[in-house]
Amino acid sequence: MEKVIFYLLAIIMVASAIASVSSRRMLRSVVYLLFVLIGAAGLYFLMDYNFLAAIQLTVYAGGIVVLIIFSVLLIQHIEMELEIAKSSRRWFSALLCLMGLSIFLGTIYSHPFAVAETTSTTTVAEIGRALLSFEKGGFILPFEVISILLLAAMIGAITIAKGGKEIKQEVPESLDIDKILQDAKQQAEEKVMELESSTKN
């Protein structure tokens, strides 16, 4: 039964991952990505990592995808379609991807992994304790440093978003000599005409 569910999830994930990168509309790509993320959450449930699966659903499927959709909507029109690459380039990158995939799969499948014997699930209380523990296996330091990272990222984002006033360059605009000459000529001719008409009167 577990195997059936696993393969079902895997097929959904791989299919929507391929659809996500090959779709020509940004918004559709994002929605396909959502299926990949939900599938990953399903895999975590299958392995009894309940907390991780919940986090995956709330943070990735819930938060991050919404963020991506927002930025897509802010930047692009919904109808806009991405360009299609040249077919030679497409084949080349497909070949490269397949080669990479075969190398990775070959190495991972040939590795003799030690099968873990413990099957007990990690409770939220244990995770919470590990997150704030400073002994070996505790994560208080990374936890704190990540908050500094978030602070820095926020400051950086504000710096970029707040923009800047345009500095006026002192370089003159490109001189269109022909146009200037023509204008001058026209003005001179008009003046001459005026003068002539005034002298006639």
- Residues found near another protein in the complex (CB under 8 A): 103-104, 107-108, 110-111, 113-114, 134-142, 145-146, 148-149, 151-153, 155-160, 162-167
Q: How far apart are CA 9 and CA 98, in angstroms?
A: 21
Q: How far is the CB of 185 from another protein (least distance, A)?
A: 34
How does DSSP classify residue 111? S
Query: Residue 3 or residue 136: which is nearer to another protein going by CB?
Result: 136
DSSP string for 36-104: HHHHHHHHHHHTT-HHHHHHIIIIIIIIIHHHHHHHHHHHS-TT-BPPPPPHHHHHHHHHHHHHHHHHH
Q: How far is the CB of 148 from another protein (least distance, A)?
A: 7
Phi, psi for 133 (deg, rounded to 5)? -90, 145
23: which strand partners?
A: none
Query: Residue 4 or residue 114: which is nearer to another protein going by CB?
Result: 114
Query: Residue 108 or residue 177: which is nearer to another protein going by CB?
Result: 108
Contacts of 50 by beta carbon, 8 Å cutoff, 6+ apart: 44, 121
Q: How far is the CB of 144 from another protein (least distance, A)?
A: 9
Query: Residue 106 or residue 128: which is nearer to another protein going by CB?
Result: 106
Q: How far is the CB of 109 from another protein (least distance, A)?
A: 10
Q: How far is the CB of 112 from another protein (least distance, A)?
A: 8
Q: How far apart are CA 30 and CA 66, in angstroms?
A: 9
Query: Residue 1 or residue 148: which is nearer to another protein going by CB?
Result: 148
Q: How far apart are CA 75 and CA 25, in angstroms?
A: 13
